[in-house]
Structure 1
Amino acid sequence: MNVLRNQLNRHLSEIENYQVGIKLKSTKSNPILNQNQNQNQNQKLKQNRTKRPFANVTNNINVQQSENIEIKNRKIYQKKTVDKIKLKQNPLSSIPIPTENINMEISPVTKFTFQQPKPQYKDIDKDYKDDPQMVSEYAPEIFEHLKNTETDYVPSIDYMEKIQKSITPKMRKILVDWLVEVSQEYKFHSETLYLAVNYVDRFLSKFSVSKSQLQLLGASCLLIAAKYEEIYPPSVDDFVYISMNTYTRDNFLVCETKVCNALKFDFTVVTPKHFLRRFIRAGDSDVMTMLISNYLCELQLLEYSFLKYKPSIISASAVALSRAILQKRDIWDETLQHYTGFQFDDLVDCMKDLLNIYKNADKSSCKAVYEKYSNPNLCSVSKLKLPDNL
């Protein structure tokens, strides 16, 4: 019995071994089965992986291959990052850092705010913004235009030598002195006087005039200026009267026509009076400064030699000299420099000439301007004593 039992067990084991061998052979020889098994394994791996954006959009056959590539790239990126850190740290580690005499206190943080530098000059127009007559909004442009055009209608500075044959600077001075008296008689504005003198000089710069016709020329120019500037100008008959009937009405009309044609009807001209008010305001001046400045500007009308100076130079020099006469602390400050456009050195020559005629005004035979400003109503500025340092 035992022998039969042993033989049966041996045959059963052989049968099992034979079946196992058949399975192994079938597995190796069936590639489709192997592929299906691999796909099942890949699907299990995908379910276990954490999902990423677009992770499902893959080729299942190349999933394993793409994972290997991502892992490799991640490793390379980490290595590069480590290398960069090492490169930044290595040079610093070799630099010696001194530790002695170092103040480790942290100073408080100060706030910095940018501020535009304030202008050094005073705005002389801001107090007149509500006054429509002062047109403060346009004042800078107006006076810039006046400075640009002040030399457009000026007389020749040497017409006495080149044009006139019988007229001298002394005769001109007598004529202007008479025009000052007539202006006072009719209470003309000072602007009218400045215009009349400009018209006379411009006419004499073009045409030669005899001695007998000089007064007629002056009176005609004053009449034209009065018609231009005054609200109620005098008539021609009034001027016939003030000439003591030396000239007739027809004489005045003919001379007036000649003057208008010679000047080409350009009656709007720049004079020192245009700048004087603004320059006085720029100096923040008082009444005395204003009166002395006006006195100096009218005095220079008598002098033929002042034709070489521009109107703005004369006005600025008159303001500077009046401040010097009154012993002002700052004769020429930054505000005056800004609004006049002149440095103090630009005015020195004109100031010297003004000072000279100021000193000799009481000794001159032509005293109309001197007597006008000796009136107490005008503070008798023509009689002021000059400081010793002038």
Structure 2
Amino acid sequence: MACARRTKERTPLPRERTSLPRNAKMLSTKQTRAGKVGPAVENVDPEKEENCYTKRSSSSPQGGPKKRSAFGDITNARKNQTVAGKKEAVKVAPSKAQKAHGALGVAKNNEINLKKSMKKTPTKAPAEPEVDSVPERPAPGQELEPPSERQIPAAVEDIDKEQLNDPYANAEYAKDIFEYMREREEKFILPDYMEKQPDITGDMRAILVDWMVEVQENFELNHETLYLAVKLVDHYLVEVVTMRDKLQLIGSTAILIASKFEERCPPCVDDFLYICDDAYKREELLAMEISILSTLKFDINIPIPYRFLRRFAKCARATMETLTLARFICEMTLQEYDYARESPSKLAASCLLLALTMKNLGGWTPTLEYYSGYSAQDLHPLVKRLNFLLTYQPRDKLNTVRSKYSHRVFFEVAKLAPMDMLKLEKALTSC
């Protein structure tokens, strides 16, 4: 199949492009419209060219935006100011008689207004500010109060309290956001779609996901991008019957869509054509992108286990090594079709509980139970299945995830020995 065409230990790079710089094209276009003949592109002053590129952001493929005022170049504010200035310059200076008449009129009006104001004496104190008035800003170091008081049991730790002063953490709404994602889980429960796929098997899906992990590692994409791309593939295969020769096209297009949704600087289309070893044309990739988005009705904000895992690890005060171990367990389930139909939040909670048990860091605390919505007994069957997956390694040839987490950057968590099933049973019953 097409997935076998990938080339290992080769960093995919975008193709060389021979097109002229973006600013050179804009320069020649503007001069032509103005009816002037501009200099050739090769004769551009190097100092001006360097200054132009220094204003662009290197992280964006299209460069940074040009400098402009807030509304000056998209409204007629400047035009009004210019016209007003011209009109004021054309005005003729008033005569002395007109000045004297105007001054008498102003004085008379001021006298009348003064008498009216003397008659209206204030009888009441100044009104109190309305409820919807702007509150005073808190002093430095003063804690911000959440918009609504949260009802948290006494035995549960408020994990968002420490970040209430961080405007980027959204701590006031974190619990509401994850409750909303829990509600959306019910909408994206996957059925057993392999029954209606005559040309695709679970093993083919595992090979595809193994390749997608390699792409995520080569492009240095976020883990959220990988998880979302796998979800897009599954939900698309639920609706569309596909042949095996199009499976890699679906996977690469799903990574493209997920990159646009998650990444700050996503790879371009040519990059995905390159990593597929030119097995597909640009038109096919773009057509598949339209097909996936229209089939899913552009609703691609699908809950993924990785987001819940980070939230639950915060509840457990887990170290980075423990979180990485839970991430390794969770990523091992991506290529297993049997785990694709599990609830993302329950899968994340079970991976964390298994990681805590393997590291002998305690069981499921009341804080974890409160924020996850699962008790320890709810997770025990899935935790045993996950440990079985780590013990017997059903797919030895697909070792991209294991080699990835065997690196010292990931604390070599893939080299940790799984727990004995009897010891795991005893540890789970004791917690």
Q: TM-score, normalised by structure 2?
A: 0.61
- Aligned pair partner of 2:187 in 152, 156, 159: 152
Describe the SS at the equivalent of 2:334. helix
Pair 1:269-2:286 in alignment: no
Partner of 1:377: 409
For the 8 Å contact 1:129–1:137, the answer to whether it is kept is: yes
- Aligned pair partner of 1:213 in 238, 243, 246: 246
Partner of 2:338: 305
For the 8 Å contact 1:240–1:246, the answer to whether it is kept is: yes
For the 8 Å contact 1:299–1:369, the answer to whether it is kept is: yes
Describe the SS at the equivalent of 1:150. helix
Please give the alpha-carbon distance, in whole angstroms, between the structure 1 residues aligned to 2:243 and 2:262.
Answer: 28
Please give the alpha-carbon distance, in whole angstroms, between the structure 1 residues aligned to 2:194 and 2:418.
Answer: 33
CA-CA distance at 1:117 after TM superposition: 11
5 Å matches for 1:78-97? Answer: none
For the 8 Å contact 1:128–1:134, the answer to whether it is kept is: yes
CA-CA distance at 1:363 after TM superposition: 5.8
Please give the alpha-carbon distance, in whole angstroms, between the structure 2 residues aligned to 1:130 and 1:362.
Answer: 47
Pair 1:359-2:359 in alignment: no
Partner of 2:171: 136
Please give the alpha-carbon distance, in whole angstroms, between the structure 1 residues aligned to 2:211 and 2:332.
Answer: 13
Please give the alpha-carbon distance, in whole angstroms, between the structure 1 residues aligned to 2:247 and 2:189.
Answer: 19
Please give the alpha-carbon distance, in whole angstroms, between the structure 2 residues aligned to 1:324 and 1:309.
Answer: 21
Describe the SS at the equivalent of 1:234. coil
Pair 1:126-2:161 in alignment: yes
Describe the SS at the equivalent of 2:188. coil
For the 8 Å contact 1:370–1:382, the answer to whether it is kept is: yes
Name the stretch that deviates more: 362-371 or 276-285.
362-371
Name the stretch that deviates more: 347-356 or 201-210.
347-356
CA 1:245–1:138 in 2, change beyond 3 Å: closer, same or farther? same
Describe the SS at the equivalent of 1:121. coil
Partner of 1:99: none
- Measured against aligned partners, the alpha-carbon deviations of 1:126-177 in whole angstroms (never above 9, x if no partner) come to 1111212211111111111111112213432x1001x200100000000000
Question: What is the identity, as a one-letter code, of the residue corresponding to 1:160?
Answer: M
CA 1:363–1:167 in 2, change beyond 3 Å: closer, same or farther? closer
Please give the alpha-carbon distance, in whole angstroms, between the structure 2 residues aligned to 1:387 and 1:159.
Answer: 33
Please give the alpha-carbon distance, in whole angstroms, between the structure 2 residues aligned to 1:386 and 1:373.
Answer: 14
- Measured against aligned partners, the alpha-carbon deviations of 1:341-387 in whole angstroms (never above 9, x if no partner) come to 11111111211221122223496211111111000111100101234
How many residues are treated as equivalent by the alignment? Answer: 272
CA-CA distance at 1:336 after TM superposition: 0.8
CA-CA distance at 1:288 after TM superposition: 1.8
Question: What is the identity, as a one-letter code, of the residue corresponding to 2:270?
Answer: D
Please give the alpha-carbon distance, in whole angstroms, between the structure 1 residues aligned to 2:247 and 2:397.
Answer: 19
- Aligned pair partner of 2:348 in 305, 315, 323: 315
- Runs (4+) of structure 1 exceeding 6 A deviation are none
- Which protein shows a greater Rg? 1
For the 8 Å contact 2:189–2:341, the answer to whether it is kept is: no
Please give the alpha-carbon distance, in whole angstroms, between the structure 2 residues aligned to 1:335 and 1:371.
Answer: 34
CA-CA distance at 1:118 after TM superposition: 6.6
Quick one: percent identity of the two aligned structures? 38
Describe the SS at the equivalent of 1:301. coil
Please give the alpha-carbon distance, in whole angstroms, between the structure 1 residues aligned to 2:365 and 2:250.
Answer: 42
- Note the residue ranges of structure 2 that are not aligned, 5 or more in a row: 1-150, 425-431
For the 8 Å contact 1:154–1:198, the answer to whether it is kept is: no
For the 8 Å contact 2:387–2:419, the answer to whether it is kept is: no
CA-CA distance at 1:304 after TM superposition: 0.4
Q: TM-score, normalised by structure 1?
A: 0.67
Q: Which has the higher contact order (CA 8 A, sep 6+)?
A: 2
Give the RMSD, CA atoms, in angstroms. Answer: 1.7
For the 8 Å contact 1:122–1:335, the answer to whether it is kept is: yes
CA 1:118–1:204 in 2, change beyond 3 Å: closer, same or farther? closer
Partner of 2:370: 338
Pair 1:198-2:221 in alignment: no
Pair 1:293-2:326 in alignment: yes
CA 1:130–1:217 in 2, change beyond 3 Å: closer, same or farther? same
CA 1:175–1:382 in 2, change beyond 3 Å: closer, same or farther? same
For the 8 Å contact 1:362–1:370, the answer to whether it is kept is: no
